Structure 1
Amino acid sequence: MFIPSINSDTATTMKLICILPVLLLASVKPAISSLRRYDSIFSFGDSFTDTGNDIVVIPPVIPAAQPPYGMTFFGRPTGRYSNGRLIIDFIAEELELPFVPPFLSHNGSFRQGANFAVAGATALDAVFFRDIPDVGLLVPNTSTSVQLRWFESLKPSLCSPAQECPGFFHNSLFFVGEFGFNDYSFAVFGNTIPQLRSIVPDVVKTISVAIEVLIKQGAMTVVVPGIPPLGCTPASLVFFPSADPADYEPRTGCLKDLNEIAVHHNFLLQESLENVRRNHPSVAVVYADFFTPVIEMVESPHKFGLTRNALRCCCGGGGKYNFNTSGPSCGMPGATVCEDPSAYLFWDGHLTEEAYRYIAQDWLNSIHNGSNLMGLQRIANI
């Protein structure tokens, strides 16, 4: 019987032919059985990801430490800026990992992950914002570089000797951000829109440097969220109202100029991530879209079971958007809360648990597909 010889190129082709149908089927729905298994999650970012660090940084009067925060899921305030779970919580659940504990207030083990995100955190160091009137001194010293130092300080408890760290982090899922939202939210108070646009490359570069640092530590899967639409947040709509209807998007009611800043940031960020991928072809660097899902819910709230006024907060102190800069905010005496937070996109200016649930599913698809593509790349290199 004649048995043809198989060279390495032919063998690789056969492996790809065998695995492609599996990947295509698996990409339809990222069920837990088809998702890559991770041993831990390490997360960096701001209030969209903070699971309780802010309570330590600015105790004890932060709103997220007071009821009705956490009312939908936890039944108590946990420091999360929502009525329940965040995107990071839904992803941890889907991956069958525990909720990622806040680095500053957790007394147990971090072997299954740590969350370094702090509400108000910026990509750029806090000193960059110090001279901005009214808000400069409010910027916390919890920037990307600070959070990376916290991560470095944690390493000896995770992997010792240090030579073991790359192997440990190979099986970890890393989240870098969302960063940038607060940079622009603070900077807009002291700058014109063109000036605000000019800092975008610096913000994106800072994020990219952080990714490179983590890859050097051994990270093999890094998820990098873009920023949500700045011009749709109740805070932006209240702080920067305009008498000119042309300043608002007709389909959403959001501020055009601020949304354009978000689009520009996300575009440059994705370009930067392409460079990182070229430099590290064996690493899954996944862009997580934060902009599109929020815009979808603002444009067509009925499709998601949301109230018609998608820009109005569930919890707040009154006014058109239930976000009052001079009155009580959510979690403070005098604030009100809606009966059904699941019918709202915005909780207190941040998102509700139901909105986070929808976005999390989209991100899980991105993580699943990105990990599969990197797995395919590694097989092709065998």
Structure 2
Amino acid sequence: MGCRLMPAVVLLLLLLLPSSVEPAAGGRRQYDAIFSFGDSFTDTGNNPVVFSWYNVFDIVMRPPYGMTFFGGRPTGRNCNGRLVIDFIAQSLGLPLVPPYLSHRGSFRQGANFAVGGATTLDSSFFHAGDPPGASPFPLNSSLGVQLQWFESLKPSLCKTTQECKDFFGRSLFFVGEFGINDYHFSFGKRSMQEIRSFVPDIIRTISMAVEKLISDGATTLVVPGMIPSGCSPPILLTFADADADEYDSNTGCLKEPNKIVMLHNSLLKDALQKLRKKHPDVSIIYTDLFRHISEMVRSPEKFRFRKDILSVCCGGSGRYHYNDSVVCGDEGATICEDPSKSLYWDGVHLTEAAYHYIAKDWLSTINLSARASS
């Protein structure tokens, strides 16, 4: 999701915010930069540019977005505070990864190309047959487009092939969590069988992107798997008329969307394993979202979350405290008393507290991989 372009003064203040975390122990920083591709789970402020023309996306530039960490100043993040990428940058002693489309400073310490609503496949795949102007996402910010943005940035970072390989070899790359919007745009519009049929295309596109970045010099890449879509409030409402046997009785999540996600994650792991064999000197790290969110849904008390775990913190009235008519940021929306007690912030997106739990595990996985390759 996105919004209007921030005033220059506000944007400058946001970009100058301190990370508030000391560099990782051991003297020299583990990485010199972070480059990230993805969607709204990773977007740190590209949406205000991409969707500045479309008023519905103003919501993420209104309170209460940013209330938990950014002092009530919305940053373009679909969250009450920090995202996984923010926690990782802070823990590695790097600044918060600046959004490529709105940052006017240096990208020597990284760039974030992620855009809310971004798909893996080209956006034309999802809008084939739509009448002109029918789609709320006519701008293409797919994985391929984000790679083009990265390509256009490269000359400002390095001049020769060897210089690029040296620079990107000291950088950490994130490729994902691609797939969320590909499936979520399709649920309720295409049959489950048809959605299953293009899962391999999505995996192939992600794999090709990883291969491309390796050819540019990347030696450490983090590739996240998919969230359990069947536990996501917007998807639960898409299939609000589902029969009781279509839900997991232990979690209240829908079985079929989660089966498609599990297929995606399984094929992604297989593809990454093939890439590891092809590039033995490159660290390709799979990180989990499905397992973490599923565990939070099954055992909310373990994470000090509320029992009504599938309800969003900020939204309108109705089932799961979510509806399309009144969304978080709207005048009629309400917010839970303590966002740190919720898993979901405004719909599919998570709270800062949830992202924090996930980031801790990802950091452990990244650090283990770094030690294994050293």
TM-score, normalising length: structure 1: 0.87
Assess if the C-alpha contact under 8 Å between 2:65 and 2:329 holds in 1. yes
Per the alignment, residue 5 of structure 1 pairs with none
Per the alignment, residue 4 of structure 1 pairs with none
Assess if the C-alpha contact under 8 Å between 1:54 and 1:118 holds in 2. yes
How far apart are residue 304 of structure 1 and its match?
Answer: 0.4
Distance 1:198 1:224 in 2: 22
Per the alignment, residue 286 of structure 1 pairs with 285
Distance 1:249 1:166 in 2: 47
- 1:32 and 2:30 aligned: no
Aligned pairs (5 A) from 1:139-218? 139=137, 140-218=139-217
| Partner of residue 52 from structure 1, selected from 45, 50, 63 | 45
Change (3 A) 1:219 1:192: same
- 1:241 and 2:240 aligned: yes
- 1:129 and 2:121 aligned: no
Per the alignment, residue 339 of structure 2 pairs with 341
How far apart are residue 79 of structure 1 and its match?
Answer: 0.3
Per the alignment, residue 314 of structure 1 pairs with 313
How far apart are residue 39 of structure 1 and its match?
Answer: 0.2
Q: For each residue in 1:9-54, what CA deviation from the matched residue of structure 2 results, as whole angstroms up to 9, or x when unmatched?
A: xxxxxxxxxxxxxxxxxxxxxx932697000000000000000001
Distance 1:92 1:196 in 2: 34
Q: Name the aligned partner's letter for residue 39 of structure 2.
A: D
- Bigger CA drift: 241-250 or 224-233? 241-250
Per the alignment, residue 101 of structure 2 pairs with 104
| Partner of residue 69 from structure 2, selected from 58, 67, 73 | 73
Q: For each residue in 1:175-230, what CA deviation from the matched residue of structure 2 results, as whole angstroms up to 9, or x when unmatched?
A: 00010010001122321111111111000000000000000000010000001101
Assess if the C-alpha contact under 8 Å between 1:82 and 1:353 holds in 2. yes
Assess if the C-alpha contact under 8 Å between 1:133 and 1:189 holds in 2. no
Which sections of structure 2, spanning at least 5 residues, go unmatched? 1-22
Tell me the number of residue pairs that the alignment of Structure 1 and Structure 2 aligns.
344
Distance 1:136 1:125 in 2: 17
| Partner of residue 114 from structure 2, selected from 100, 114, 117 | 117
Assess if the C-alpha contact under 8 Å between 2:187 and 2:235 holds in 1. no
- Bigger CA drift: 234-243 or 282-291? 234-243
Change (3 A) 1:58 1:371: same
How far apart are residue 243 of structure 1 and its match?
Answer: 4.2
| Partner of residue 84 from structure 2, selected from 78, 82, 87 | 87
Change (3 A) 1:263 1:136: farther
Query: Percent same amino acid among aligned pairs?
Result: 55
How far apart are residue 371 of structure 1 and its match?
Answer: 1.9
How far apart are residue 238 of structure 1 and its match?
Answer: 1.1
Q: Give the superposed CA RMSD.
A: 1.7
Q: Give the number of the structure whose alpha-carbon radius of gyration is greater.
A: 1
Q: Name the aligned partner's letter for residue 250 of structure 2.
A: R
Q: For each residue in 1:256-296, what CA deviation from the matched residue of structure 2 results, as whole angstroms up to 9, or x when unmatched?
A: 00011111100000000000000000000000101101000
Distance 2:252 2:134 in 1: 29
3-state DSSP class of the match of 1:187? Answer: coil
Distance 1:98 1:237 in 2: 36
- 1:358 and 2:357 aligned: yes
Assess if the C-alpha contact under 8 Å between 1:36 and 1:371 holds in 2. no
TM-score, normalising length: structure 2: 0.89
Distance 1:144 1:184 in 2: 15
3-state DSSP class of the match of 1:137? Answer: coil
How far apart are residue 236 of structure 1 and its match?
Answer: 0.4
Assess if the C-alpha contact under 8 Å between 2:172 and 2:218 holds in 1. yes
Assess if the C-alpha contact under 8 Å between 1:237 and 1:255 holds in 2. yes
Q: Name the aligned partner's letter for residue 360 of structure 1.
A: A
How far apart are residue 150 of structure 1 and its match?
Answer: 0.2
